């Protein structure tokens, strides 16, 4: 099919979305990811029965935590599709990409850059004096 999807999506393959832990999601944001989304099988058709339901609960938990720490829960999402729905996969990638572009970068990166700029400004100021 050779479908295109946004280049800034990085795919991490897991045997089942049930393998994805809340810590994987949180650490991704700690390391500077702007958004994380999980693409699992359709609900009710998990090979391991509960994997995608567990993943959805973890995504919801991550959303609550990210809202509380100021990152924003809307940066995490869960999608479901079947393995034969490649166009939908590309559509979801596009949708998530647009959502993140609208939200802007991970606030941690912005705050870090602002802190570094401030520190650099102070150092330069001392140099002039």
Partner 1 sequence: MIVANGKPLEEIIAAVKDRQKILVAGCNECVTVCEVGGTKEVGILASALRLHFLNQGIKAEVGETTLQRQCDREYLVQARETVEPYDIVVSIACGVGCQFMAEEFSTQPVVPGVDTMFMGGALERGVWSERCQGCGTCLLAKTGGICPVSRCAKRVLNGPCGGSTKGKCEISKDVDCAWQLIIDRLKALGRLDDYETLMPIKDWSTDRAGGPRKRIKEEVAS
52 binds partner 1 (CB under 8 A): no
Dihedral sign from CA coordinates of 37, 14, 9, 108: positive
Q: How far apart are CA 38 and CA 32, in angstroms?
A: 17
Question: Is residue 19 at the binding interface for partner 1, with CB under 8 A as the rule?
Answer: no
Q: If binding is defined by CB under 8 A, does position 69 make contact with partner 1?
A: yes
> Is 112 an interacting residue with respect to partner 1 (CB under 8 A)?
yes
Residues 90-109 that bind partner 1 (CB under 8 A): 107-108
Identify the CA nearest to 34 among candidates 91, 96, 79: 96
By CB under 8 A, name the one of 15, 70, 84, 125 that touches partner 1: 70
């Amino acid at each position: 099919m050779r479908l295109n999807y946004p280049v800034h999506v990085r795919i991490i393959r897991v045997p089942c979305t049930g393998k994805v832990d809340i810590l994987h999601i949180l650490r991704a944001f700690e390391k500077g990811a702007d958004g994380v989304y999980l693409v699992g099988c359709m609900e009710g058709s998990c090979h391991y029965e509960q994997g995608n339901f567990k993943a959805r609960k973890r995504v919801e938990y991550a959303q609550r935590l990210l809202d509380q720490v100021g990152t924003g829960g809307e940066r995490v999402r869960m999608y479901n599709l079947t393995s034969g729905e490649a166009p939908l996969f590309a559509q979801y990638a596009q949708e998530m990409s647009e959502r993140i572009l609208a939200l802007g970068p991970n606030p941690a990166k912005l705050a870090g850059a602002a802190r570094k700029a401030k520190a650099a400004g102070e150092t330069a100021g001392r140099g002039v004096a």
